[in-house]
Structures are given as structure tokens and as C-alpha cells.
Amino acid sequence: MIGKFLLHKNKQFWLSGIALLALPLCGNANLPCLSLAPEITTTSQQLDNTGKFCLQIFFNQGDLIEGNYMSIAKLDLVTVDHQYIRQLSGNGNEFIFTVPQSDNYQLIMNGQPNQSFTLTWQTTPANTPKAYTLISPELIKLEQALLTNKDTSVFWHKIAEQGTPLIEPYDENNVIMTFLWRGELNNIKIFGSPTGDHDDLYHLDNSDVWFRSYIVPKTTRYSYQLAPNIPITAKPIKEQRHAIVATAQQDPLNPHFYPSDGVDKFHRESYVELADAPVQFGIKPEINSPKGSLTQHKFKSHILNNERDITIYWPANIQTLPPDDLNLVILFDSRQYQQKTAIINIMDNLIAHKKITPTILVMLDTLDSQTRSQELPPNSTKLADSIAAELLPWLKQQQINVKPTNTVIAGSSFGGLASSYIAFLYPQYFPKVLSLSGSYWWGPKNHTGEWLSEQFAQQAPKAIKFYLNAGLFEGNLLTSNRHFSNILRAKGYTYFYHETASGHDYLHWQGEFAEGLQYLLNAHD
């Protein structure tokens, strides 16, 4: 018997599925699809003997749908005529999305055959956008033309030929960068704008043009997504911002995106690299660079009470290298760096060009976003204790016994904050820190923020060398990095800090990673 749960007035009732059941075929031929009434918000079912199940649900355009699941390995969203829309799994056991139009949609589940599962979701209605202003010469001309001719096809044809964002001259050092979207929408935001926030695009009156313009340096290298039809709700600001993830996707008018193998448009980011953006060393494979090798491992921490994947990069011909000449780099967020950067090419080329001596790179994976946000900030000393007391001995068992003076601990965002804190607690093991857009704004509950900066300011300087980078488009994070670097200078630390015309993204972190290793592992250090 097929049944389902109905949530009503905070109570859960078991309903017979007979009256509500329909059996259209879903994305897989011959796979029946259970059709749920709109008031159903949770269901417990069982995957079939091939490990599959299909649910059909009606969703309204622009509404925010967010939820979670248990005992499902893969969750996809498709149309009723079997057109694939996006993958919903991959962010722990949570999902969030909107749909392009009001219609029935199907959720396709995959997992262990005959496995019981639970799926729960809630829906929040959409809202409307704001007014606009213009600084783009091209849009000023279009606005005037629209007074007599509502046809925007010539404008869009020109944009299609040159791609987005629209780049126009401003002065000797800057350009006007305008983001664009075509269509009828409720609203649209830039996911990670040059202000460091998630800004609204404005709707050009009497047209199908949405836009937002910024004045940015000619050295800009920057990635972003656009998020159309975001539900703006009465929820707290933090939850409203989270809703952007539901529709954030690559810019359809920008031909440049990464990663190239992103599973769908929601898992890819668009980017722009202006002509004066600094060259990033080593991101392309070179025929003459000897290739290192990768090994995969499991690392269990008793201190953290969990297990994670570790990927180790071994430089070419490591067996012939004197142990004292080897460097060790420990890097957080392994999966993201391997998927979104050219980190392996960078390592091969740095070593081949003798920018650094041969280096072992140990990349630590994070379990999920929630665990990451708990482990990496200094909520406790557990992560630092685990790295010092468990990871280093484990690495020795893998024949990695590099002297501390040749050891770097590295990361971006929370990873940069964690690297700095671990070095602060254990400078005898980690005397070199590579921090990219470190989240020094962080503070524990009931604290004003920048907690780690306070610790560095209050204690005597330690034997730690830093490489710090932050982007001009990172808002408060940029301010906190400036503050942290000022404290390092005042306390007499050896450090290098600089700012780039970039955002909070792996596109520029990969170049800074190469620069940071050269500074920290300089042969004359």
C-alpha cells in the first residue's frame, strides 16, 4: 500500500495514498511517479528494487522551495516531460530551489534498493524588485531609444555578440562593468557583487532589460552568479540571503564559466578577467613539467569524532629527493580546490620551474557545510589539537616527515581563519600561514567580532610568517583583513599582505595560492 504524511497544524497524519495517487511516468521510462497534493509537505516512502523513486509536485514560479531528506544518495529535479533541470543533492542532506514557471515537477530519488527514505520541504512565496539608476552610456542611449521604440532586439543582439558583463570606459584606471539579464522577472540579484553583497539588478522601465553597473579597476578578475526570481520573504535577513542559493546560476550571456565540468548551470560560476588582470602562474598544464601523483586516504580523528577524505599530492621523482629538501603544505577544502582550481597544474609547474623546491600537498576534505562552519572557526581548540596531535603523526605513518620550518598551513575564507588559529596555538609545528580571504571578521556568540585579531594583539608575537590576500570586492571581510595585517605589523610579524580586484572566489584564490607558496617557501628564507 502506498501512503504519505500530511503536516497540518503542527501535527503529522498518515494518509492512505489511494485518493491522491496518480501514476505518470517520470524521467526513467517505466518508473511510476507518486503525485502529491499541494498541502503535502513531507513524505516517507521506500525506493524500489532498483533504488529509485519519483514524486510529482506542483510548484509556483518564483516560490522558494527548501527542504531536507534522509537515506537518499542522489536527488534530481525534472519536468513532467522528462527535461532535466538541476541536481538538488550534494549540499549535505539539504536542498533549496525555485522553478522557471508554475507547473508540475518531478523529484527523482536514487539510493540503495528497497531503502526507506523521508523527504520534507516548505514553500515560501516570492516578492517584487526595487527602483534603478543609470551610469552606463550604452543603457542611457537605450533608455532614450525606448521612449519611441520599445524593441530591444538590436541592443540584445549587440550584447550577444560581445558577451556579458558589458564593459565600458570610465577613466585611466577603471571601467564601468554592467551585469545584464533579459526577461520578465519578479527580481534578480548578483550572487557576490563587486560591493561584497548580493545586490539587486534594476529593471529598465518599458523593457525586458535588467541591469546593475559598477565602477571597477581594470585589473579585475572576478566570478559571480545571477539569481533570478528569488523569494523575498518576511523571514530574518540571514534566511532571506540563503534563499539566493535556490536560483543562483551561471550568467547565460557570459561564455566564460568554471568549473568546466559543472553538472548544470546551478553548479557553475561565470567570470570576467579584464585585460590588465595579473597573470596567474602555472594554471595550464605544461608538457615539460614532470607530473606529480595523487593518492586517496581516509583520516579518522578521535578528537573530532569523525572521519574525512584526504588527497595527497606527491611531487614527481620524490623517491630520489633528500628529505630535508621537501616542503609540506596542509590545505583545507580539498574537494573545492580540486574541482574549482588548477591546483595540481600549479604544483607541477611551481616545482618544474624551480619557483619552490619539491613540495607534498596534503588536502583535507570538509564533511559538509554545517560541520565546516563549526570546525574551522575557533569555536574550540579541537581542530587545532587534531591537526597537531593526530594528523602529523598520521602523516609520518605515510612516510611524510617534513621539518616544521618547511611546513605551511593554508586555506581560504574560514580555512584562512583556521590556518591562522592553528599556527597561533602550535607555532612550533606550523610557522608559516597562507591565508586567502581569511574570515577574520568572525567572533563567537555575544562577541563583537574579529576575535582572533584580538588574540594576536594581546599576546607576545610568535614565530609565524604570513602571506595574506583579500579582494577589493569582499566588503567587511576586506576591512577585517586590513585590521589583522595592521596588527601583524604593529606586533613585528614577518608578513606579506596585498589586495586584488577580486571577490570571494576560487578564480583568484588559485593565483594567490601560487604567489603565497613562492613567498613562504622561498629558498632564501
Q: Report mean pLDDT in 10-residue bins for the chain, 525 residues.
A: 34 32 46 79 88 89 84 91 88 84 89 90 68 86 93 96 96 96 91 88 92 96 93 61 84 94 92 96 95 96 96 91 88 95 97 95 92 93 97 96 95 98 98 98 89 96 98 94 97 97 95 97 64
Please state which architecture CATH assigns to domain 293-520: 3-Layer(aba) Sandwich (3.40)
In sequence order, the β-bridge partners of residue 3 are: 16
How far is the C-alpha of 393 from the C-alpha of 387, rounded, in Å? 9
pLDDT at residue 182 in the model: 96
472 phi/psi in degrees, rounded to 5: -65, -15
pLDDT at residue 223 in the model: 95
- Helix/strand/coil for 330: strand
Nearest to 120 by CA among 85, 101, 93, 99: 93
Residue the block writes with cell 629527493:
321
Residue the block writes with cell 564593459:
167
Residue 307, all three cell numbers = 572521519
How far is the C-alpha of 220 from the C-alpha of 215, rounded, in Å? 11
Max Cα–Cα distance, the chain, nearest Å: 77
pLDDT at residue 8 in the model: 33
Nearest to 494 by CA among 423, 401, 444: 423
**Amino acid, single-letter form, for residue 285:** P
CA angle 194, 197, 201 (to 5 degrees): 75
pLDDT at residue 131 in the model: 58
pLDDT at residue 14 in the model: 32
CA 63 to chain centre: 23
The whole-model pTM stands at 0.76
How far is the C-alpha of 328 from the C-alpha of 342, rounded, in Å? 19
In sequence order, the β-bridge partners of residue 364 are: 310, 332
pLDDT at residue 234 in the model: 55
CATH 2.60.120.380 residue spans of the chain? 3-124
**Rg of the chain over CA atoms, in angstroms?**
26
CATH 3.40.50.1820 residue spans of the chain? 293-520
Residue 293 and residue 358 in contact, taking contact as beta carbons nearer than 8 Å: no
Distant-in-sequence, close-in-space partners of 150: CB < 8 Å, separation ≥ 6: 206, 207
Top-level class of domain 137-273? mainly beta
Residue the block writes with cell 499541494:
38
Tell me which CATH code domain 3-124 carries: 2.60.120.380
Residue 440 and residue 488 in contact, taking contact as beta carbons nearer than 8 Å: no
